[in-house]
A and B are shown apart, each in its own frame.
Chain A
Amino acid sequence: QQQVKQSPQSLIVQKGGISIINCAYENTAFDYFPWYQQFPGKGPALLIAIRPDVSEKKEGRFTISFNKSAKQFSLHIMDSQPGDSATYFCAVKTGANNLFFGTGTRLTVIP
């Protein structure tokens, strides 16, 4: 049973463009919503995270938008760069220290 649904599966963006990845969940008990970035041969690395009492969080070129009523959250990457090409995972946590991951989005940024 997938706790969080992630889309799209893959994304191709021109350099300088905006990359948008979406996630949806059902369980309203989730209380922590991180995004991870993974390069081939590496473990996932935390990009940015948000709690449900905040609607938006920005760190550099990365922004999480959180819609509690719609049970959706998204990652926006502004001014996308070729170095951003990686697989991105959304995740959720509920009261316990275990992450439920989305299925991942493979982002390719074309120079």
Chain B
Amino acid sequence: KAGVTQTPRYLIKTRGQQVTLSCSPISGHRSVSWYQQTPGQGLQFLFEYFSETQRNKGNFPGRFSGRQFSNSRSEMNVSTLELGDSALYLCASSPGPSSTDTQYFGPGTRLTVL
């Protein structure tokens, strides 16, 4: 089975722009979660989607949003980019939304905001 894929792998944007990141989960997985990883704050949960519905949301401003499509693929969007948004954005998929379902991570998208 193919793993979680994320595109693009690298992005460079300037302050004020917006960006859309894409995630394709493992085949058959219906839950997709997004995380932000930075050297200062570590790994932080952004949001989780299951059956096209956002189930959980972390403590991030409204500039961060996401969606999930009927084929379980997911996108996240960051509007009005700030320098502090520079990070590795990780997508993780799991079979379902249970707390004991294992989350499998993709390689991430490295976003640099100049």
Interface residues, chain A, with chain B CB atoms under 8 Å away: 31-32, 34, 36, 41-46, 49, 51, 89, 93-104
Nearest residue, chain B, Cβ from A92? B99
Interface residues, chain B, with chain A CB atoms under 8 Å away: 4, 31, 33, 35, 42-45, 48, 50, 55-56, 58, 90, 92, 94, 96-108
Complex CA distance for A49 and B98, rounded to whole angstroms: 14
Task: Contact check, B45 vs A99: say whether CB atoms are below 8 A apart.
Answer: yes
Complex CA distance for A44 and B58, rounded to whole angstroms: 19
User: What is the minimal beta-carbon distance from B68 to any residue of chain A, in angstroms?
Assistant: 13
B42: chain A residues within 8 A (beta carbon): 101-104
Complex CA distance for A82 and B58, rounded to whole angstroms: 36
| CB-defined A-B contacts under 8 Å, sample of 14 | A32-B99, A34-B102, A43-B92, A45-B105, A51-B100, A96-B55, A97-B50, A97-B55, A97-B98, A98-B33, A98-B56, A99-B45, A103-B42, A104-B42
Task: Contact check, B33 vs A97: say whether CB atoms are below 8 A apart.
Answer: yes
